[in-house]
Amino acid sequence: MPTPPDFPFKKVTHVGFGLMVLILLATLGVSLWGLHHTVEIFESVIHAEEVSDELLRVFADLKEAEDQQREYLLTGNSQFLAPYHLAVERIHASLIALKNLAMTQPRRDRVFPDFKNLILHRLDLLQHTLDLRDTQGTQTAIEGIRSGEGMQLTAKIRQHILNFHKDDVADFIRLHDTAHAMERFTIITMSIGLILTFAVCLFTFWKFKRDLTERQQLERCLLEEAKLAEVSRRIADIGHDVKNMLTPIHMGMQLLEDELDEHFKALPDTRQTHTSTTQAFYKDIIGMTRRGSSRIQMRVKEIADAVKGSSSPPQFAACHLGKIVDSVLDALRLNADERGIALQTRGLDSLPILRADEQRLFNAFYNLVNNAIPEVPHGGSVTITGALSPSGKEILLSFEDTGRGMSPDVLRSLFTYQVVSRKPGGTGLGTKIVKDVVDAHGGTIRAESTEGQGTTFTICLPIEGPAAEAV
């Protein structure tokens, strides 16, 4: 009866889970006890502060009653009696509130009765002074005030409040110290419990999951390799088929051009003059088709090189941006003309020669213009403007269209694999391709767009190429 090989791991797992449960329960119990005591302490602090506030409120109302009584006695104006009576009512309400506030029983028995009796006695004196004024005259009432009994009572009340506040300060310090000590104890207990729990958990799962994790990682790697191999094979097959399908296009364009040349040469001289526009048009179309198919073949070759793991680096050479942009516009002009969109350039002829990979820049510019054309309404335009940077070391190219613009969400996702295309059948990766080309040239690109007004892409390219290539 051999012991199963995983038996020790099962034992470790059971013990580990048991320890975790015990530690968590102990930590939870101690933490709840500490939290309960902390809450009780802070409630005591809050109640003491409420009592202090209510005492101050009573004293303020008492002073208000004294002031209003004095004004009444001095002026005889009965309008001062209304705020006097309101202050007295508030004092009685505050006394009731003080009685209902939670205080420790010894403190309630020591503080509240004397304070209440002093307040009531002071109110009785105030009312007695008013009664004297009504029965014996103002001078008699004022003489009663001058006797000083009321002022002595007010001073005693003030002293009671000061004594209470003095006790409060000592209590607050003690309670705060106790609360913070309890809080620290709870936090330390919870931290130790969590650390122990995580330590046991990590040890248990490290023993239990190590082989399973390695096996899962191996399976994922094999699955990814199989997927990549299948994708590479499919891409290679598609690239080979596309390359083969482009061959008859090249041959067909050549045969078509030869046939049309023979046809127009056979026409009388008078007819040839009238068909010169047609001849120029078909030569443009055939030339555009040839150039486009040639560029497709070059891209297909790049795909094949990437599949074989021999992707070629950028080939930097002297080139003129104006010619590259003209090639892009020649390839897209027919599409733009059919939509009634004007393709325009500004300032490109005066730009200096720069070191760049012409094919890659063509692909980047082609993507920007080709993406802009479907977004521009009939009668709109796509304008490419070139200029030197203020330092004279970079060329600035702006691709500005009068299209419908982009929302902030789409604008934020540009130049990433998360961008979403709004064109039917589009992948949305055109701007990511542009960003990669610009990065390869050591440049920068930014986009600005307003919905309903259009979009502008601005590319900055160093004239000497990227720093590493220039060196």
Nearest-5° Cα angle at 182, 176 to 187: 125
Mean pLDDT for the stretch of residues 361-373: 91
Mean pLDDT for the stretch of residues 300-312: 54
pLDDT higher than 70, residue 39: no
pLDDT higher than 50, residue 470: no
| Selection from 364, 350, 361 nearest residue 316 by Cα | 361
| Selection from 88, 151, 82 nearest residue 123 by Cα | 88
Burial (CB count within 10 angstroms: exposed 0-12, middle 13-18, buried 19+), residue 105: exposed
pLDDT of amino acid 236: 58
> Is residue 92 a contact partner of residue 127, using CB atoms and an 8 Å limit?
no
3 state SS of 466: coil
Average pLDDT over the chain, rounded to an integer: 77
pLDDT higher than 50, residue 2: no
- 78 DSSP assignment: G
3 state SS of 275: coil
pLDDT higher than 90, residue 397: yes
pLDDT of amino acid 448: 92
Extract the tokens encoding 254: 């050549």
pLDDT higher than 70, residue 191: yes
pLDDT of amino acid 318: 93
Lowest mean pLDDT among 115-129, 140-154, 183-197, 212-226: 212-226
pLDDT of amino acid 150: 78
pTM for the model? 0.44
pLDDT higher than 50, residue 3: no
The strand pairing partners of 456, in sequence order, are 400, 448
Mean pLDDT for the stretch of residues 404-427: 68
Query: Residue 154 and residue 139: Cα distance in Å, rounded?
Result: 22
Lowest mean pLDDT among 60-69, 183-192, 250-259, 436-445: 250-259
* Residue carrying the six token digits 């300032």: 347
Query: Residue 66 and residue 187: Cα distance in Å, rounded?
Result: 52
pLDDT higher than 90, residue 275: no
pLDDT-based confidence at residue 61 (cuts at 50, 70, 90):
confident
* Choice between 46 and 306, residue whose per-residue pLDDT is larger: 46
pLDDT of amino acid 420: 52
Extract the tokens encoding 451: 């919905």
pLDDT higher than 70, residue 139: yes
Mean pLDDT for the stretch of residues 190-218: 73
Q: Which of 223-237, 253-267, 308-322 has the highest mean pLDDT?
A: 308-322
